[in-house]
Chains A and B, each alone.
Chain A
Amino acid sequence: MTKIKAIINLLSSLKFALTCFVALFIIILVGTFAQINHGIYYVQKVYFHSFFIFITVKNITIPIFPGGALIGTMLIINLSLSTILKIKWTLKKSGLLIIHLGLILLLLGGGLTSCISTESQIYLEEGKSTFYSEDLNLNELIIIDSSNPKFDKLIAIDYKELKQKKEIQHKSIPFKINIHNTFDNSQLNITKINQDTVVTSGIGKSLALKALPIFTKDNLKNNPSCIISFNDNKSATYLFSLDINGTQKVKINTNTYYIQLQPKRYYFPFLITLSKFKDDYYQGTSIAKSYLSEIKITDFKTNQVQNTKVYMNHPFRKELFTFYQASFGEDIPSSVFQVVFNPGWLLPYISSIIITLGLLIHFSIHLLFFLKKKNS
Chain B
Amino acid sequence: MKKITLLIIYFLLSTFSTAQSENFNYNELGQIPVLYNGRIQPFDSLARYSLLIIREKTKVIRNTEKITATQWLWEVFSHNKNIYTDKVFLIDNPEVQHELNLSPNRKVYSFNEIKNKISLILAKASALKDKDNKSAYETNIIHLGQKITLFNILLHTFLPFDKISFHNYFKQYSENIKNQVTIFNNYNEQGQLNNQKEKLTLVKFNQDFKRHLQLSKTSNIYLYVFTNEDKNIIWSNTGEELLKHLDYNYTSNPLIVNYANLNKYYESNNINKFNSELKSSQNQFKKILQNKQTLVKLEYYFNKTSPFIFAMILYIAVFLLSGIFYLINSNILFKLSKWICYIAFSVHSLGLIARMLIQQRPPVTNLYSSSVFVGWVAIALSLLQEKIFKNKLGYFISSILGFTTLIIAYHLSFQIDTLEQMQAVLDSNFWLTTHVITITLGYSGTFLAGLIGTIYIFKEIFKIKSIDNKTLYTMAYSLICFSLFFSFIGTVLGGIWADQSWGRFWGWDPKENGALLIVIFNSMILHFRLSGIFKIKGIMIMCILGNIVTAFSWFGVNMLGVGLHSYGFMNSAVQWLILYISIQVVIAYLGFNFIKDDKFK
| Complex contact B38–A287 (CB within 8 A) | yes
| Complex contact A356–B524 (CB within 8 A) | no
| Complex contact B560–A32 (CB within 8 A) | yes
Chain A residues whose CB sits within 8 angstroms of the CB of B425 once the complex forms = 312-313
| Complex contact B424–A284 (CB within 8 A) | no
In whole angstroms, what is the CA distance A278 to B485 when docked?
Answer: 40
> For chain A residues 335-375, which have a beta carbon within 8 Å of chain B?
338-340, 342, 345, 348-349, 352, 355-356, 359-360, 363, 366-367, 370, 374
User: Counting CB contacts under 8 A, is A303 at the interface?
Assistant: no
| Complex contact B531–A40 (CB within 8 A) | no
| Complex contact A359–B499 (CB within 8 A) | no
User: Counting CB contacts under 8 A, is B228 at the interface?
Assistant: no
In whole angstroms, what is the CA distance A360 to B489 when docked?
Answer: 11
* Chain B binding surface SS class: helix
Please choose the segment from B359-367, B500-508, B587-595 that sits at the chain A interface, where 4 or more of its residues have CB less than 8 A away: B500-508
In whole angstroms, what is the CA distance A228 to B508 when docked?
Answer: 37
In whole angstroms, what is the CA distance A340 to B497 when docked?
Answer: 15
What is the 8 Å Cβ interface bit string for chain B, positions 31-42, against chain A (1 contact, 0 not)?
000011111000
Chain B residues whose CB sits within 8 angstroms of the CB of A289 once the complex forms = 38, 421, 424, 427
| Complex contact B513–A32 (CB within 8 A) | yes
Query: Quick one: closest A residue to B516, CB to CB?
Result: A28
> For chain A residues 3-30, which have a beta carbon within 8 Å of chain B?
14-15, 17-18, 21-22, 24-25, 28-29
User: Counting CB contacts under 8 A, is B122 at the interface?
Assistant: no
Determine which of B388, B500, B508 lies in contact with A31 in the assembled complex, contact meaning CB atoms within 8 Å: B508
User: Counting CB contacts under 8 A, is A193 at the interface?
Assistant: no
In whole angstroms, what is the CA distance A343 to B431 when docked?
Answer: 24
User: Counting CB contacts under 8 A, is A80 at the interface?
Assistant: no
In whole angstroms, what is the CA distance A374 to B475 when docked?
Answer: 13
| Complex contact A44–B520 (CB within 8 A) | no
User: Counting CB contacts under 8 A, is A181 at the interface?
Assistant: no
User: Counting CB contacts under 8 A, is A207 at the interface?
Assistant: no
In whole angstroms, what is the CA distance A15 to B528 when docked?
Answer: 9
In the complex where A28-B517, A355-B488 touch, is A345 in contact with B502 (Cβ < 8 A)? no
User: Counting CB contacts under 8 A, is A195 at the interface?
Assistant: no
Query: Quick one: closest B residue to A114, CB to CB?
Result: B506
User: Counting CB contacts under 8 A, is A43 at the interface?
Assistant: yes
* Chain A binding surface SS class: helix
| Complex contact A284–B36 (CB within 8 A) | yes
Determine which of B508, B514, B562 lies in contact with A36 in the assembled complex, contact meaning CB atoms within 8 Å: B562
Chain B residues whose CB sits within 8 angstroms of the CB of A35 once the complex forms = 510, 560, 562-563
| Complex contact B495–A348 (CB within 8 A) | yes
Determine which of A282, A313, A352 lies in contact with B39 in the assembled complex, contact meaning CB atoms within 8 Å: A282
User: Counting CB contacts under 8 A, is B543 at the interface?
Assistant: no
User: Counting CB contacts under 8 A, is B509 at the interface?
Assistant: yes
| Complex contact B500–A313 (CB within 8 A) | yes
| Complex contact A363–B485 (CB within 8 A) | yes
User: Counting CB contacts under 8 A, is A283 at the interface?
Assistant: yes
Q: Tell me which of B428, B530, B562 has the highest count of chain A C-beta atoms within 10 A of its own C-beta.
A: B562
In the complex where A29-B517, A32-B560, A287-B421 touch, is A348 in contact with B500 (Cβ < 8 A)? no
In whole angstroms, what is the CA distance A285 to B478 when docked?
Answer: 46
In whole angstroms, what is the CA distance A47 to B508 when docked?
Answer: 10
User: Counting CB contacts under 8 A, is A48 at the interface?
Assistant: yes
User: Counting CB contacts under 8 A, is B187 at the interface?
Assistant: no
| Complex contact B37–A14 (CB within 8 A) | no
| Complex contact B38–A285 (CB within 8 A) | yes
| Complex contact A324–B520 (CB within 8 A) | no
Chain A residues whose CB sits within 8 angstroms of the CB of B485 once the complex forms = 359-360, 363
What is the 8 Å Cβ interface bit string for chain A, positions 303-319, against chain B (1 contact, 0 not)?
00000000011110000
> Shortest CB–CB separation between residue A113 and chain B, in angstroms?
7
In the complex where A14-B531, A340-B503 touch, is A32 in contact with B514 (Cβ < 8 A)? yes
In whole angstroms, what is the CA distance A40 to B511 when docked?
Answer: 13
Chain A residues whose CB sits within 8 angstroms of the CB of B501 once the complex forms = 312-313, 315, 324
Number of inter-chain CB pairs below 8 Å: 149
Query: Quick one: closest A residue to B504, CB to CB?
Result: A340
Determine which of A36, A312, A349 lies in contact with B424 in the assembled complex, contact meaning CB atoms within 8 Å: A312
| Complex contact B520–A338 (CB within 8 A) | no
Chain B residues whose CB sits within 8 angstroms of the CB of A312 once the complex forms = 424-425, 427, 501
Determine which of B530, B531, B557 lies in contact with A32 in the assembled complex, contact meaning CB atoms within 8 Å: B557
> Shortest CB–CB separation between residue B518 and chain A, in angstroms?
10
> Shortest CB–CB separation between residue B15 and chain A, in angstroms?
31
Determine which of B424, B474, B505, B508 lies in contact with A43 in the assembled complex, contact meaning CB atoms within 8 Å: B508
Determine which of B35, B420, B504, B531 lies in contact with A283 in the assembled complex, contact meaning CB atoms within 8 Å: B35
User: Counting CB contacts under 8 A, is B572 at the interface?
Assistant: no
> Shortest CB–CB separation between residue A2 and chain B, in angstroms?
23
User: Counting CB contacts under 8 A, is A119 at the interface?
Assistant: yes
Determine which of A21, A285, A322, A339 lies in contact with B220 in the assembled complex, contact meaning CB atoms within 8 Å: A285
In whole angstroms, what is the CA distance A288 to B38 when docked?
Answer: 10
In whole angstroms, what is the CA distance A196 to B235 when docked?
Answer: 69
User: Counting CB contacts under 8 A, is A89 at the interface?
Assistant: no
| Complex contact B488–A356 (CB within 8 A) | yes
> Shortest CB–CB separation between residue B110 and chain A, in angstroms?
28
User: Counting CB contacts under 8 A, is A258 at the interface?
Assistant: no
User: Counting CB contacts under 8 A, is B496 at the interface?
Assistant: yes
In whole angstroms, what is the CA distance A349 to B509 when docked?
Answer: 19
Query: Quick one: closest A residue to B484, CB to CB?
Result: A359
User: Counting CB contacts under 8 A, is B133 at the interface?
Assistant: no
In the complex where A40-B509, A283-B222, A348-B499 touch, is A21 in contact with B488 (Cβ < 8 A)? no
| Complex contact B492–A356 (CB within 8 A) | yes
Determine which of A21, A326, A352 lies in contact with B520 in the assembled complex, contact meaning CB atoms within 8 Å: A21
User: Counting CB contacts under 8 A, is A333 at the interface?
Assistant: no
Chain B residues whose CB sits within 8 angstroms of the CB of A370 once the complex forms = 474, 478
User: Counting CB contacts under 8 A, is B455 at the interface?
Assistant: no
> For chain B residues 519-538, which have a beta carbon within 8 Å of chain A?
520-521, 523-524, 527-528, 530-531, 533
In the complex where A14-B531, A284-B38, A288-B423 touch, is A33 in contact with B505 (Cβ < 8 A)? no
Extra contacts besides A14-B530, A285-B38 (17): CB < 8 Å: A21-B520, A32-B510, A35-B562, A36-B562, A40-B507, A40-B509, A282-B38, A284-B36, A289-B424, A312-B501, A314-B500, A315-B501, A322-B503, A348-B506, A352-B496, A360-B485, A370-B478
Query: Top 4 closest A-B pairs, CB basis?
Result: A282-B38, A284-B220, A340-B503, A352-B492
Contacts A/B (CB < 8 Å), 29 sampled: A14-B527, A18-B524, A21-B520, A21-B523, A32-B513, A35-B560, A36-B560, A40-B507, A44-B507, A48-B508, A119-B504, A282-B37, A282-B421, A283-B222, A284-B35, A284-B220, A284-B237, A285-B421, A290-B427, A313-B428, A313-B431, A315-B503, A339-B503, A342-B504, A345-B499, A348-B495, A348-B496, A352-B492, A363-B481
Interface residues of B (CB under 8 A from A): 35-39, 220-222, 235, 237, 388, 420-421, 423-425, 427-428, 431, 474, 478, 481, 484-485, 488-489, 492, 495-497, 499-510, 513-514, 516-517, 520-521, 523-524, 527-528, 530-531, 533, 557, 560-563
